[in-house]
Structure formats: C-alpha cells, structure tokens
Chains A and B, each alone.
Chain A
Amino acid sequence: MLLQGAAIFSALIVLALFGFLVYFTLPLFSEGQFMELFSWHWRPFHGEFGILPMIAGTVLLAISAVLIAYPVGLGICLFIHGLGPTWLARPVLFLVHGMTGVPTVVYGFVAVFFLVPLLRTHFAHGTGFSLLAASLTLSILVLPTIVLLINTQLQQIVPTLRMTTEALGISRVHELTRISLPTASYGLLAAAILGFGRAVGDTLIALMVAGNAAQIPGSAFDSIRTLTAHIALVVATDSQSTIYHSLFAAGLILFMTTTSVNLLLHQIKRRVYREEQSA
C-alpha cells in the first residue's frame, strides 16, 4: 500500500539520520580519540580538539534565551487572555503568528547591525559579539513557540472558567494565576522544553552574533561558540583528522539532545492525554 509505504519511509529517515551520524563518529571510538573531545580546549594547532566549550556554550545560550523569552511569553499570554483589552488580543496574537514567519537569518542580520553596535557603545565592555547579544536575539526567535503553545492550552481552559469566575466575583488576575495557569501546568512545562529545543537547534543567530570564540564565557559580554556554529565553521576542513570527526560528534550530541527533548515532550503529552481520559 502506497500510503503506508510513504509513512514508513518518513519514519525511517530518523533512523537513517541517526545511523549516519553514528557511522561517521565511529572512527573516533576505534582510534581512541574519543576522550580527546572531552577537553576544555579547542586548539587544533596544538592538537587539542575539545568540544566541551561548545557544549557549554550551547547550553548556556539556550537556557538564557529561554529565561529571557519565557516570562515575556507568559506575560503576552496573560495579556491575550484577559489582562489586556479584548480588541487587542487578536492583533497581538496575529503579531506573534507573524513573528514565526520572520527568517532566522533576518533576525541575525538585524542583530549584527543594530543590537551588536548598541551593546558595544552602551556597555564599554567587549566587542558586542557576545552571549548577551545572541541570547537576546535568540529569545525573540523562541518567543512565538512559547506563546503559541501556552496560548493553545489557555484557549481550552479560560473560556470554560471565565463565566464561573466572573459570577463568583474573582478578579481576572486571581483567576489566571490561581486557577488557569496551574491547570495548564503541563502546557507551561512543555513550552519551556520546546523553547529550549528550538534554541539548541538554531545555527544562524549563534554563528552571526555570538562571536564564535571556543571558550567558557566569564560574563554575558564574552564571546561563545555553540555546537551548531562549530559545525558550520569547521564543516570542510581536513577530512582525515580529529577535527573532522569532531564535527559528526557535535552533530550526534545535538541530535541526541533534541531527541531527548522531544521524547520528554511526548511523555508529557501522553500523561496529559491519560489524565484527560480518566477524568
């Protein structure tokens, strides 16, 4: 059956992806160079190929982007569901929808020529290409993901509650913070996780704005390099050496990170589903 074949093919692609990454990372294991990857220094000219700074950079950047975007996203959801004027709710939602259509490279471009010089002149510290610049830009990228997910949850909850709470004279803030948001807790969690997943996977903003120094940043104004940017930077160097295989190791780590994020989300979804069934 053709349809089934198509579906199975689509599913198999994931396996193929994983297989290829493992296949190309394998030489690292067999040649005993694997441990070399887990060093804190990337100095190819001195024979050091550690990708730990990139892993740290990726995690730091993704977490800080979510930390910036999450409160703002939650605020927007509250605005849409009662704390802002009703006539503004739709335009705001429209705006957030529109943001999903902005190409990543455009965000990166504007950050390079607008945000980076701004940071450089206003904080006389560092080059502007920094963890801070990248996480601010990246937070704009993950914001719609967070808002839309929380919004979908609230859309199912708020309308059913509003009539009751209004009749009981409960204030909007009270209703949202004490009843609606706790009810939507899985959605809130899922939004944070999904936002993190998106932030980890982004390449362009990190590559264009974060400065790409393979180091552990001492402050938010320091330059960092992410795994994604690392792949983009070294994709075509010397094909026999450790540098080259570290590329696929970086890809494998990225793939496994996003896969675990999605498995986690899947579990959450199933638990919610089951609770709905039993309720």
Chain B
Amino acid sequence: MRSRFLSGLCSAIFLTFFCTLPAVSGELDQFTSLQGKIDIAGGTAHIPVMKDAARKIMTQYPRINITVAGGGSGVGIQKVGEGLVDIGNAGRPVSSKELSQYPQLISFPFAVDGVAPIVNPANQIINLNSAQIKDIFSGKISNWKDVGGDDAAIHIYSRDEASGTRAVFWKKCLSKGDIVESANIVPSNGAMKVAISQDRHALGYMSIGHLDATVKPVALDNVAPTQENAINGSYPVVRKLFMNTNGAPEPLVKAFINYILGADGATSITRHGYISLK
C-alpha cells in the first residue's frame, strides 16, 4: 500500500517537474551553455544506459564530465542522500525508511525492467514454478533432479544487500522468503551474468535488460521473462528503474535527466533491452 502511494507520489513529482520544463528541440542542444561534472552511482542495471548518454554528451561537450559507478540501488540512494553523488540510481522505489532519512529525495522513473531467474545455457530446465523457486532459494530443494534436471547440486548465486534487483526478486518472486546463507554473493548484474555463464549448475537472477546468449532465462509459472510480458503484466517480477536526486536538480543534472527521459534516451533504453516509459 505504502509503496504504491510512494510510487504515485514519485510519478506526480516527476510529472509536475516535467511539465514545468521548457520544450527542447535538439536533444543535445540543452547542454550547449552548460559545464561541470555529474557523478552517478547506484543500480548496476542502469549502467549501460547511463554510459551511453554520458558518451554522447561528453563527446559533443568536452567541458562536461560525467562519471558512472555501480554499487547497487541501496548505495545509490544512500550516496545521493548524503550528497556524495549527483544522481543515485535505484532499481526499486525509495523505501519509506530511506525517505524519512533523506526527505528531499526526488525520484525520476525512466524505464521498466523485469528480473528473471537465470541458468546456464547448458541446463535443460526451461520452466520453474514459484513454489519450486522458493524451495530452491530457501534450501529445501538442493538438487536439479528434484525439479526435472540433471542429477547435480544447485549452485545458488545471489546479490548483496544493496542490490535493488535482489530486493525486487526477493519480494515479488520469493515472497520475502529465505535465501540460504550458502548462496554465493556477487556484486552486480554484470557479475551475475559472468558467474552463471561459467557454471553449468548455477541458478541466479538478474535484470532482463542484461540478458544475452551467455545465460538462459527460465520461465516462471510458464510465463517467459521477456520485456513484452513484463509490460503487459503477465510476468510479475517487474520493477521500474529510477534516477534519484537530493532536492531539485541543478541545471546540468536536470539537463542530463531530461536527456535520459527524452527521445534519444528512449532509443538507448530500448536498445539495451529495457522498456522506456515514454
């Protein structure tokens, strides 16, 4: 209930913000008179889109410096709240606890993304139902043969506490159930993909936007985790990707956010496998 209220609030803020902006013609023109630096950190699912935008902007305007770091959604929110970065990315809404700690946070949702359970391409498993997934992650099922696969131990990979991907997967797929302590912990979506692609018996989860041929998404209750299914609502483990600022953004940061929310940003968002909110 509260999170719905919060995301409603976020979109409201986002809408008012967007309407007050002057209309821009050329996507990159808004940076013409600007200079300075933007530090970005947080959610690792966002990195490809941020890097893309940074590259385009910095190539044309050498007086603008944009740095992009990861860390995870929790890190992004904390860092932007503390003023350590200008934009803190998060793959989940700001929690009420975080909002009470950093009341000035403003969220800008810019894309929709699903979180998919993934296995190694050599694994025969193509579908798991949600009860099976919960049992695997809580340690009740520990062999692939119990869910119709090879006779081999399941190697569970999970993310650290700062991860928004973890938070969403834990809430919407595992229904806040247990994750065994023996799970291997990797620090980003990229690292998850690398780990799963190298381990035949692995099970993990990651942002649908990051999927490629090196890993195989597993259908959840016979619904394939694709962005189409995410947007039409049939695939349940879905989240929005947010950019957060502490208070109203400065002109340069504002321009960057506009750029991501604009047509160029949308192209880049789609190209990297996410669904633009536009």
Contact = CB atoms under 8 A, between A and B. Distances in A.
Interface residues of A, number: 31
Nearest to A125: B153
B74 A237 contact: yes
B13 interface: no
Interface string B249-275: 000000000000000000000000000
Interface in B128-181: 152-153, 155, 157, 160-162, 170, 176, 181
The 4 closest A-B pairs by CB, nearest first: A212-B185, A215-B181, A127-B155, A236-B75
Contact of A214 (B74, B155, B181, B202): B181
A211 B185 contact: yes
B79 interface: yes
B228 to A, nearest CB: 31
A126 B155 contact: yes
Contacts of B182: 213, 215, 222-223
Most chain A beta-carbon contacts within 10 A, residue among B74, B182, B198: B182
A238 interface: yes
A124 interface: yes
Given A124-B152, A126-B155, A128-B199, A239 B82 contact: yes
A45 B152 contact: no
A237 B181 contact: no
Contact of B78 (A53, A116, A238): A238
A43 to B, nearest CB: 7
B184 A212 contact: yes
A42 B181 contact: yes
Nearest to B183: A213
Contacts of A213: 181-185
A125 B155 CA distance: 10
A196 interface: no
Given A129-B184, A238-B78, A238-B98, 8 more contacts: A117-B198, A127-B155, A212-B186, A215-B182, A233-B187, A237-B78, A237-B161, A239-B78
Contacts of A42: 181
Nearest to B161: A44
Interface residues on B, range: 20 to 34
Interface string A113-131: 0001100100011111100
Contacts of B162: 234, 236-237
A125 B198 CA distance: 15
Nearest to A211: B184
Nearest to B185: A212
Contact of B184 (A45, A127, A236, A240): A127
A237 B183 contact: no
A245 interface: no
Most chain B beta-carbon contacts within 10 A, residue among A117, A237, A240: A237
A166 B78 CA distance: 70
Most chain B beta-carbon contacts within 10 A, residue among A42, A125, A129, A240: A129
B71 interface: yes
19 contacts: A42-B181, A45-B161, A45-B176, A120-B198, A127-B157, A129-B195, A211-B185, A212-B185, A213-B183, A214-B185, A222-B182, A233-B185, A234-B160, A234-B162, A236-B75, A237-B74, A237-B161, A239-B78, A243-B161
Interface in A22-54: 41-45, 53
Given A45-B161, A236-B162, A126 B181 contact: no
A236 B185 contact: no
Interface string A212-252: 11110000001101000000011011111001000000000
Contact of A45 (B82, B153, B170): B170
Nearest to B71: A236
A127 B181 contact: no
B74 A238 contact: yes
Given A125-B153, A215-B181, A222-B182, A237 B170 contact: no
A215 to B, nearest CB: 4
A86 B199 CA distance: 46
Contacts of B152: 124
A126 B142 CA distance: 12
B240 to A, nearest CB: 21
Interface in B176-217: 176, 181-187, 195, 198-199, 201-202
B211 to A, nearest CB: 21
A199 to B, nearest CB: 21
A124 B155 CA distance: 12
Most chain B beta-carbon contacts within 10 A, residue among A44, A215, A233: A233
B23 to A, nearest CB: 38
Given A43-B181, A215-B182, A233-B185, A120 B199 contact: yes
A225 B185 contact: yes
A213 B158 CA distance: 9
Contacts of B185: 211-214, 225, 233
A122 to B, nearest CB: 13
